[in-house]
Amino acid sequence: MVVSRSLRMPMLSIVIFLVSNVFGSWALVFPITPLLVSTAGGTRFTAGATTGVFMAATIVAQLFTPVLLRHYDFRRVVASGCLLLGLPCLAMVPWSDNITTLMMISVVRGTGFGLVTVACSALPPYLVSKDRLSRAIAAQGMANAGSQTIFLLVGLQLYQSTGIVGVSALATTMASIAAVAVLGLPQRLYGRSGKQSGSAPTQGVLKRQFVLVNVAVVGIASAYGGLSALIPLVDYPQFPHAGVILAAIGGAVVAGRFAAGRYAHRTTDHRSASQIGVFAAAVGMMCLYVAALEVHAALAIALIGGVAFGFGLGWVQNVTLIRVFDSAPAHRVGLASAAWNISMDAGIGLGSTTMGAMADHSGYSSALLIATVAIVLTVALPLALQQSRKRQDRPTSREERASQL
């Protein structure tokens, strides 16, 4: 089915509404499952592993999503993902104290999440022109992050007041609404085919750039996964404030994606764009490390750190997604989306599990310090190498841009 230009912007609005509900449903339960495991007697490592198995299932689903979208009705694939994400939440009510069952629920929900994230994140290149791509990606990212910001906080507060019953009911409702919203989209969006273009050396260059960008995505996502899973479990600040810190991170992600989208739309200096996001994220992690030492005004420092880290996370997300789409030919956009989402979710799962293990072994503050170093090594370095190789491999296009100024 060919999508007409007049329908593209309304469809983008539907996609934004859909992913807002999906990420809201995900965010409601995301910090609650580790809490349930901890309450049931699990260690910090076990609590963090619930996120790890969720993301492992997400990655497996994301590997197969591009193939499913090429062969099956787009709406059925995405609606199935929404229902797999939402309906299992109802099973958390009777089995909230069973760690094995909670792990199994995380696997099913992760599968649904993987189907939806890949399908929807690849839509902007099909719905807007290339000159508006950075803003479209930013708009969708802001919707995702904004929904996470609200419902991370709502989930923790709702859990305090109603227990798992209220959280599971709302998460199921939001995912079901998203499944209905899919009906507003066409059956097929990924049916385009095309021949590969470019010489083998050029494809090799693009492959190297592609890998470097996704390494950076794993690095920044690992820090986010560890923070999201462990902040509700630490002694500072007390549990009622954990949702505030998570909400501060999510709100700053919205700001970071908006600012990065505006910046990328107005400039061609992508090197400085990367540095801004990495610097903000590293500063934020250092502030959270200082706050974890239980110094005076720990909550205020933690909030500052959450805002700085969230801004850097949102900035890096936008920059890397644009670079991934730039490195992929038109007929590989779906695959590029899958790779970026797999990197993001693999990082979240890896970070929640490894930081949980480090927190068990040497304390939460040490885990934060190691994560700060990891951001610099796994995010700043790959992005810098990718930009350097890109400049070396495309000198002509760079000179042409300079001549146009």
Under a CB-based contact definition with an 8 Å cutoff, are residues 322 and 213 in contact? no
One-letter amino acid of 371? A
pLDDT in tens, 76-128: 888 999 999 999 999 998 898 888 999 999 999 999 999 998 888 767 777 76
What was the pLDDT predicted at 4? 46
pTM over the 0.75 mark: no
One-letter amino acid of 202? T
Under a CB-based contact definition with an 8 Å cutoff, are residues 292 and 237 in contact? no
Under a CB-based contact definition with an 8 Å cutoff, are residues 268 and 394 in contact? no
> CA-CA distance, 259 to 314, in Å (whole number)?
9
DSSP code at position 142: H
> CA-CA distance, 349 to 228, in Å (whole number)?
11
Q: Which of 19, 59, 99 is nearest to 225 (CA)?
A: 59
Classify 363 as helix, strand or coil: coil
**Cα angle: 96, vertex 40, 61; to 5 degrees:** 55
- The arithmetic mean of pLDDT across residues 354-367, rounded, is 76
pLDDT in tens, 301-320: 889 999 999 999 988 888 88
Domains assigned to the chain: 7-395 (1.20.1250.20)
Reply yes or no on whether the pLDDT at 1 is more than 50. no
